[in-house]
């Protein structure tokens, strides 16, 4: 067995490949993007960039129904989009192993919030595994497929940016054969309709004990003996923080949820105080407080409730350092629009047209909110720009513009566009089409007609799509042609109805690739 250095993302992908997956789905999102890229580039497994996370989840669910194993990966906020099929799939159950990998982003290095996916796993009543390093990331992902088939449930693997983007040694093993296809009709289990729901919920509840037994069987959560009356409960990667302290303290390492409460109870009973380390929200700390009040953690104010935890605050608790430095001494370098970026040119024209309010969306173009452009007034979540603009315009406010990227428009901008037309709002929608999902590393979109494997496929025509949604006007402009762009924006702002301006010019970093 070969041992190599791997990124956490690649280790997860490799674990899924070794587990014999037949398909992988995802929508790009840092820090989880490279998982699908690794599968697509380094194996013969079929893989797709889905148009959004909900679709990625549903396609994956379909694969699982055939009896085959499937990997679905996304960033933490992606699960908000996929939460509808996610929640109910736990009631229906799965057939072929279904593993959902979440990339959480404590510290919000490239995200709109810091939500903790462990709550989603608990909410859906499914198991969640949390690796501490790349080796565990690979092994846990592999095991997650077995557990999924043992329980007939989707299994979540929760990871975070620091693990997914770090390199550590991983043991490469052989690849298990794919499952045979066995697609069966089973209306009592596969139909989430009222006559089935309460029974399915009851069966899911009955599985909870079995989940705990399986977690125990695999030994995910274990106590490492040490000296002294202070103990540490460490979840996922924080186990490494605890080890880095160099203290020989008793540690309860948590790698899987739900956690058997008696494990925590017995651990804290023998101690004077316990320190709970976890990246994200105080999920295990809240549980620990049921058994002792002598807890140091985020709720006690000893550790920060926000941001990435990292090692420094942990060192401070142990008086190994006096204070936590606000930064690493490096000059902060927030991302900016690249020189020559077509979005930059578009914003200059938009600013000149003086819209009353500009609702933004998520992508490279969000950087237009920064000085000197200061072109965007709000940004909430993917696809929200058009709905927000409609809401503002519904109150009689004129000359409101929504700005949305091509991938974001396809992800979740089409339905609010139809909504705006249907409810007769007066807004200008600007689709910034740079032929790429630029922000997450230039993945292809349906509008350029190339799939995740780099093969040609059908190309979506955004202008025709908008017309089919019933918008009042669609103009396609080149943002490098400032005069035409400005005129189109002005017309769109001053003319009643839902008007669309598509500012089309490929991101400079992909333009070359598209031409060749
Ligand atoms: C729900 C959700 N999924 C994924 C992401 C990650 N993400 C940030 S921006 C973006 C898309 C950007 O593509 P596009 O709209 O084409 O704009 P560009 O970056 O190319 O300007 C994605 C997928 C996210 N922030 N939220």
Is the pLDDT reported for residue 325 higher than 80?
Answer: no
Tell how far the Cα of 30 is from the centroid of ligand 1, in angstroms.
9
Query: Roughly how many angstroms between the first and final C-alpha of the chain, as a whole number?
Result: 40
**Quick check: 471 and 498 in contact, CB under 8 A?**
yes
Q: Residue 356: left if φ>0, alpha if ψ -120 to 50, beta else—which one? A: alpha
225 alpha carbon, distance to own chain's centre: 35
- 405 Cβ closer than 6 Å to some ligand 1 atom: yes
- 50-64, 238-252, 425-439: least confidently modelled range: 238-252
Q: What is the SS3 string spanning 320-337?
A: CCCCCCCCCCCCCCCCCC
When pLDDT is cut at 50, 70 and 90, the band that residue 181 belongs to is very high
What's the average model confidence in pLDDT over 228-235? 96
When pLDDT is cut at 50, 70 and 90, the band that residue 386 belongs to is very high
When pLDDT is cut at 50, 70 and 90, the band that residue 328 belongs to is low
For the chain, give the percent of residues with pLDDT over 70: 99
Q: Which atom of ligand 1 is nearest to the CA of 361?
A: 15
Is the pLDDT reported for residue 336 higher than 80?
Answer: yes
> What are 416-426's pLDDT values in tens digits?
999 999 999 99
- 407 Cβ closer than 6 Å to some ligand 1 atom: yes
Q: What's the token pair of residue 316?
A: 């401070």
- 365 Cβ closer than 6 Å to some ligand 1 atom: yes
**Quick check: 288 and 260 in contact, CB under 8 A?**
no
Distance CA 12, CA 14 (A): 5
- 131 Cβ closer than 6 Å to some ligand 1 atom: no
> What are 185-229's pLDDT values in tens digits?
999 999 999 999 999 999 999 999 999 999 999 999 999 999 999
Domains in the chain: ranges and CATH: 2-218 (3.40.50.970), 222-317 (3.40.50.920), 342-515 (3.40.50.970)
Model-wide pTM > 0.85: yes
133 alpha carbon, distance to own chain's centre: 19
Tell how far the Cα of 405 is from the centroid of ligand 1, in angstroms.
8
> What are 48-66's pLDDT values in tens digits?
999 999 999 999 999 999 9
Say what the pLDDT of residue 28 is.
Answer: 98
Say what the pLDDT of residue 516 is.
Answer: 57
């Amino acid at each position: 067995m070969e041992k190599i250095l791997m990124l956490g993302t690649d280790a997860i992908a490799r674990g899924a490949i070794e587990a014999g997956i037949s398909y992988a789905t995802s929508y790009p999102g840092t820090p989880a993007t490279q998982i699908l890229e690794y599968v697509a580039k380094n194996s013969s497994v079929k893989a797709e960039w889905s148009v959004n996370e909900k679709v990625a989840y549903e396609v994956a669910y379909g694969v699982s129904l055939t009896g085959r194993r499937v990997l679905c990966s996304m960033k933490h906020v992606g699960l908000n989009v996929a939460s509808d099929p996610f929640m109910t799939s736990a009631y229906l159950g799965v057939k072929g192993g279904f593993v959902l990998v979440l990339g959480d982003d404590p510290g919000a290095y490239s995200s709109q919030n810091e939500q903790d996916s462990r709550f989603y796993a608990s909410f859906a009543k499914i198991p969640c595994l949390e690796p501490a390093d790349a080796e565990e990331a690979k092994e846990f992902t592999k095991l997650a497929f077995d557990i999924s088939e043992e329980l007939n449930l989707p299994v979540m693997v929760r990871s975070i940016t620091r693990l997914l983007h770090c390199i550590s040694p991983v043991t490469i093993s052989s690849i298990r054969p794919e499952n045979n296809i066995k697609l069966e009709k089973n209306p009592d289990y596969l139909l989430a309709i009222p006559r089935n729901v309460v029974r399915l919920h009851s069966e899911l509840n009955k599985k909870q004990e079995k989940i705990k037994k399986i977690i125990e069987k695999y030994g995910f959560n274990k106590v490492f003996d040490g000296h002294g009356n202070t103990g540490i409960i460490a979840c996922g990667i924080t186990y490494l923080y605890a080890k880095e302290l160099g203290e020989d303290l008793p540690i309860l390492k948590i790698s899987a949820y739900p956690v058997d409460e008696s494990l925590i109870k017995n651990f804290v009973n023998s101690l004077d105080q316990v320190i709970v380390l976890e990246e994200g929200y105080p999920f295990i700390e809240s549980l620990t407080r049921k058994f002792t009040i002598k807890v140091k953690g985020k709720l006690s104010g000893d550790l920060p409730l926000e941001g990435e935890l990292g090692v420094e605050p942990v060192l401070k608790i142990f008086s190994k350092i006096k204070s936590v430095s606000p930064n690493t001494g490096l000059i902060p370098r927030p991302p900016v629009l690249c020189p020559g970026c077509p979005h930059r040119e578009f914003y200059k024209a938009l600013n000149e047209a003086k819209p009353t309010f500009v609702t933004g969306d998520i992508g490279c173009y969000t950087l237009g909110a920064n000085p000197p452009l200061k072109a965007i007034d709000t940004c909430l979540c993917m696809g929200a720009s058009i709905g927000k603009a409609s809401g503002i315009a519904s109150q009689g406010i004129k000359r409101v513009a929504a700005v949305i990227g091509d991938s974001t428009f396809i992800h979740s901008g089409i339905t609010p566009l139809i909504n705006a037309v249907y409810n007769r709002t007066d807004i200008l929608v600007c689709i910034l089409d740079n032929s790429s999902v630029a922000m997450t590393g230039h993945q292809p979109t349906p509008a350029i007609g190339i799939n995740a494997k780099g093969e040609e496929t059908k190309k979506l025509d955004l202008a025709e799509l908008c017309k089919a949604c019933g918008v009042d006007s669609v103009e396609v402009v080149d943002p490098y042609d400032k005069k035409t762009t400005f005129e189109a924006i002005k017309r769109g702002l001053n003319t009643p109805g839902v008007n669309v301006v598509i500012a089309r010019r490929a991101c400079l970093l992909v333009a070359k690739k598209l031409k060749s």
